[in-house]
Amino acid sequence: MYHNLKIKANIQVKRKLILRTIKIQSAHKKNAPGFAYAYEYHPDKEANKDKGSIFGVIEILGNAESSKVIAEIVLDSVKEAYYESNKQEALPRFEYALGRVNEALVEAAEDGKIAWLGKLSAVIAVLREKELHVTQTGGAQAHLLRKKNFIQITEGLSPKGALHPLKTFVNIASGSVDRGDKLVFFTPSLNYNISKEELKNELIQHTPSVAVNTFYNILEDVKSQNRLSFMVLEITDPEALANDTLDFQDEFWLDEPKNVTESVVTSASPLIDKVAHKSKDALKMGKNIKERFGHVKIKIAKVAGKATEKAKAKREHMARNRTTNRNSNQASVFPMSVKMRKKNISFKRFLPGLKYIKKDYLKIGIYGVGIAAFLFIGSNFLSKEKKQPEENNEIYQVYLSDAAAKENDALTKIIAGDKNGGKADLDKAREAIEKVENSKFKDQFSEEIKTLRQKLQDILDQIDGIVKVNPEEMLALDKQFDKIVYGSKNFYLISEAGVGKVAIQSKDVVFTDNSSTDTLGADILEDGTIVFMTAEPMVYGFSGKEIKRQSLPVGEWYKAKDMIAYYSNIYVLGDDGQIYKHQRIVDGFTKPTPYFQENLSLRDGISLTIDSSIYVLLNDGQVSKFSTGKKQDFSLKGSPKMEKPKLIYTSESLSNIYIFDEVSSKILVFDKSGNFVKQMTSESFKGITSLTSDASGNIYVLVGKKVFKLPS
């Protein structure tokens, strides 16, 4: 597709430049998963023509119809917001449009449309005269080909940290284009079948129309199962176009594979070629789990029967069509079949003389010949060791290729909702990798092994809802503390040595000595008093200046596991399995009254938290909920296995419940109905001893001498 650009050349003379676009995208059929589209928009209204054009590629894996809805939200929102903005410059106009896109995605998520999270990959660009602005999310990429330099201009633009619709498009790269430049946009699935080096070489050596036609033929041959979109934008002029005499096709549509079996065999061919060239592109396909969901489903054909012949035929066919980047004399990656050669001893030459031997000696002669033959053959076997096939690295290339294929099978099954099947494929991929790790070639394949291992872990993390986070360090103190409580813009940190009051803004620390023993639990009362229970058991109060022991008749209990506060009351989890309520009085608390109205026991309880209901964490990772002393119908649903749950935390201002697992160092998040939301993991989580939150719903964790703030 051609479009005129009003661009001034360096010689300050008006020069007509032409923008040419060529696209490849998948046919949008209902029985194919996901949605992908290559998008361009050039305004018709005169008032908008000077504002530039919008381009992009987008890919979403999952249900085709719901993915299409999200893609339309993204593309429609950016178009409408960009041209309706009253800002004069392109960059602030683009920033405004992306903000509107993120807000639209938040609204979609609030309406229950969340299946796209972690599965959206897109590049969106605005080109106004020579001015280019690009944003990106997920695994989609944008490259600039200038002369012979192929530069990824979206490097580092994808948002970091936990997934959130409001942070889908957060970074912008800006620059300028000139005559002869080529912009290449593509979604992750393309790069699994065509490497960046191939993209670069074809576009350098050929016109975009020829290069894209080559890419289209490769993709048609492979018949990948997943959707993809690809676009080349060439900045050219009429003179350059006059030299391009070939028929020009500006849009290519990939048909859906006829059947899965054919696709399984044919999809092996490009990967086989890549491994034979020891290309790392086949095994290094992205930086995170978002990119991996965009890759095509691919299987490695087995060396057996018709599948072998079919894969071989496909490889030969692709080799003939891709002479630019393929060596016709390349070795097969399949292990060669090595046969032991035995001496062929024929007895025919002895037969003519047998008729002249007397009958009496015939048997002796035959026996003699037989013995001689036996000794001759036996000596050959005894004198020479049997030659074993020399171990080579080709078979381990196949193992790695098979692991990559199983990884992609796992992705496909996970997208379809078959998590158990996906995990089974990941186990097979891990077994294949272990074979390489146990071989003498492990150092040769160390990078590929590391990359595949990380990808397998990323997929397992995705299945288990694990989100890697980078918490913000709020405090680094000289002393080590056991518990943390937030109150009135201050942190209160408690240990057996004393209480530290830390102003959040100034970070000023006021420490008050204490003579108590280990702190079991700590909380804040309605009047702002910090209360904490120690192992004696005793309860202490701290109002900002001094620590005072509180009177606390223990009554029926004498050992405690945890303590929480709510308004002017404290609740103690005794080691007898009961919860006891103590009401606030002057300088202390009343005698305990049993909280339960039923005959219940929580001997397996280890930690308490409260919002208005009380939640008790049990040592098997389950949670019991109580309201007004009565057990509620509540359980954690979809929870990953916890090895050693230690802490539970929530509050009235929070919409989630947080549980810390000590062995895995993960924080598991559930909503107030008990539904599993996610797991958060970080190197900073090792050794968490306490959690708290402020009035805005920010979560803070205490780890020894440091306090961290969790990402929102």
Tens digits of residue pLDDT in 435-475: 889 988 888 889 889 988 988 888 888 777 888 889 999 99
Mean pLDDT of 327-332: 30
* 497-527: burial string, b at 16+ Cβ within 10 Å, e else: bbbbbbebeeeeeeeeebebeebbbbbbbee
Residue 302 has pLDDT above 50, yes or no: no
CATH architecture of the region 2-187+227-256: 4-Layer Sandwich (3.60)
Lowest mean pLDDT among 169-178, 224-233, 243-252, 488-497: 243-252
Amino acid 338: pLDDT: 26
Contacts of residue 500, Cβ cutoff 8 Å, sequence gap at least 6: 477, 479, 481, 491, 492, 493, 494, 509, 510, 511, 512
Residue 580 has pLDDT above 80, yes or no: yes
CA-derived radius of gyration, the chain: 35
3-state secondary structure 239-299: HHHHCCCCCCCCEEEECCCCCHHHHHHHCHHHHHHHHHCCCCCCCCCCCCHHHHCCCCCCC
Mean pLDDT of 66-92: 91
Mean pLDDT of 563-577: 93
Task: With H, G, I as helix, E, B as strand and everything else as coil, classify residue 76.
Answer: helix
Residue 193 has pLDDT above 90, yes or no: no
Amino acid 357: pLDDT: 35
Quote the CA–CA distance of 689 and 481 in Å, as a whole number.
8
| Percentage of residues of the chain with pLDDT beyond 90 | 39
Quote the CA–CA distance of 521 and 560 in Å, as a whole number.
9
Mean pLDDT of 145-149: 90
At residue 328 the predicted structure's pLDDT band, cuts being 50, 70 and 90, is very low
pLDDT in tens, 406-436: 888 887 777 677 888 888 989 999 999 998 8
* Better-predicted residue by pLDDT, 648 or 249: 648
Tell me 637's DSSP state. Answer: B
At residue 367 the predicted structure's pLDDT band, cuts being 50, 70 and 90, is low
Residue 66 has pLDDT above 70, yes or no: yes
Amino acid 362: pLDDT: 45
At residue 682 the predicted structure's pLDDT band, cuts being 50, 70 and 90, is very high
pTM of the model as a whole: 0.47
Amino acid 117: pLDDT: 84
Q: Report the mean per-residue pLDDT for the chain.
A: 77
Domain 472-709 belongs in CATH node 2.120.10.30: yes
Residue 680 CA from chain centroid, whole number: 13
Amino acid 209: pLDDT: 86
List the one residue out of 295, 182, 158, 271 whose CA is nearest residue 221.
Answer: 271
Amino acid 491: pLDDT: 94
Highest mean pLDDT among 289-293, 296-300, 351-355, 470-474: 470-474
At residue 158 the predicted structure's pLDDT band, cuts being 50, 70 and 90, is confident
At residue 232 the predicted structure's pLDDT band, cuts being 50, 70 and 90, is very high
At residue 78 the predicted structure's pLDDT band, cuts being 50, 70 and 90, is very high
Mean pLDDT of 38-44: 91
At residue 371 the predicted structure's pLDDT band, cuts being 50, 70 and 90, is low
Mean pLDDT of 67-93: 92
Amino acid 649: pLDDT: 97
Residue 601 has pLDDT above 60, yes or no: yes
Contacts of residue 109, Cβ cutoff 8 Å, sequence gap at least 6: 117, 165
Amino acid 440: pLDDT: 87
At residue 3 the predicted structure's pLDDT band, cuts being 50, 70 and 90, is low
Residue 333 has pLDDT above 60, yes or no: no
Contact, 38 vs 23, CB < 8 A?
A: yes
- Domain-by-domain residue ranges, the chain? 2-187+227-256, 306-335+392-463, 348-383, 472-709
Tokens 């097969």 appear where? 332
Mean pLDDT of 156-167: 79
Amino acid 555: pLDDT: 66
Quote the CA–CA distance of 70 and 62 in Å, as a whole number.
11
Lowest mean pLDDT among 24-38, 317-331, 566-580: 317-331
Lowest mean pLDDT among 335-339, 511-515, 539-543, 549-553: 335-339
Contact, 659 vs 668, CB < 8 A?
A: yes
Task: With H, G, I as helix, E, B as strand and everything else as coil, classify residue 183.
Answer: strand
Residue 7 has pLDDT above 80, yes or no: no
Lowest mean pLDDT among 133-142, 254-263, 544-553: 254-263
At residue 109 the predicted structure's pLDDT band, cuts being 50, 70 and 90, is confident
At residue 387 the predicted structure's pLDDT band, cuts being 50, 70 and 90, is very low
- β-pairing, 141-146 with 182-186? antiparallel
Quote the CA–CA distance of 121 and 136 in Å, as a whole number.
8
Amino acid 677: pLDDT: 92
Contact, 572 vs 589, CB < 8 A?
A: no
Q: Take residue 292 and report the two structure tokens written for it.
A: 């991996």
Helix axes 64-84, 90-110, angle to 10 degrees: 140
Residue 322 has pLDDT above 70, yes or no: no
